[in-house]
Structure 1
Amino acid sequence: MFYEIRRYQARPGRRAEWVHYMEDVVIPFQASQGMDVVASFVDEQDEDGYVWIRRFEDEARREELYAAVYQHHRWKAEIGPAVHDLLIPEKSLVTRAIPTPASPMR
């Protein structure tokens, strides 16, 4: 099992709009496709920063879920374009993290 920690930068002044879109559209859509969204955060020190975490059983499941989400017609036609409008894509950072043996996240 591993976690994907995703850090995004909303376009200046649009973080509240981004959070609303994430909570009302992106997260429910991804969950409906089987994605396990663990947490969602706003950055306390960066007024446009946002972080969220997804959990995967293994790489094969991640690939399966990525295909289900990002190849879906709704993502391509509606959600993806809205995401690119609200975020600065080149400032996105994705990190994979594996829980340590004593972690309660295991």
Structure 2
Amino acid sequence: MFYEIRHYVTKPGRREEWLRFMERTVIPFQSSKGMVITASFVDEEHPDGYVWIRRFEDEAHRVEAYAAVYESDRWVAELGPAVADLLFLDKSVVTRVVPTPRSLLR
């Protein structure tokens, strides 16, 4: 099992709009396609910062879930463009992490 910790920067003043979009649209959509979203956060120290975490059972699960989400007609036509409108995509940082033996996230 591993996680992706995804750090995003919203366009100035649009974090609340992004948060509503994530919680009402993106997270339910991705969950319906097999993604496991374990956490969603706003950054207390950065007014445009947002962080979320996704869990994958293994690399095959990640590949399957990515294809189901990012190759879907809805993502390509609707959700992807909306994401690009709200975020600075070039400032996104994705870190892949594996829990240690004593982690509560195992």
1:28 matches 2:14: no
Q: Per-residue displacement from partner, 1:46-89 (whole Å, max 9, x unpaired)? A: 00000000000001110000000000000000000000000000
TM-score by length of 2: 0.99
Letter in 1 for 2:3: Y
- Per the alignment, residue 3 of structure 2 pairs with 3
1:76 matches 2:52: no
**Which consecutive residues of structure 1, in runs of 5 or more, have no partner in the other structure?**
none
Post-superposition shift, 1:104?
Answer: 1.1
Letter in 2 for 1:97: V
Post-superposition shift, 1:2?
Answer: 0.2
- Per the alignment, residue 42 of structure 1 pairs with 42
1:52 matches 2:70: no
Three-state SS of the structure 2 residue aligned to 1:6 is strand
Post-superposition shift, 1:10?
Answer: 0.2
Letter in 1 for 2:78: E
- Per the alignment, residue 14 of structure 1 pairs with 14
Cα distance in 2 between the residues matched to 1:103 and 1:16: 31
**Which consecutive residues of structure 2, in runs of 5 or more, have no partner in the other structure?**
none
Aligned length: 106
| Alignment RMSD (CA, Å) | 0.4
Three-state SS of the structure 2 residue aligned to 1:34 is coil
- Per the alignment, residue 101 of structure 1 pairs with 101
Where does structure 1 differ by over 2 angstroms across 4 or more consecutive aligned residues?
none
User: How much identity, in percent, do the aligned residues show?
Assistant: 66
TM-score by length of 1: 0.99
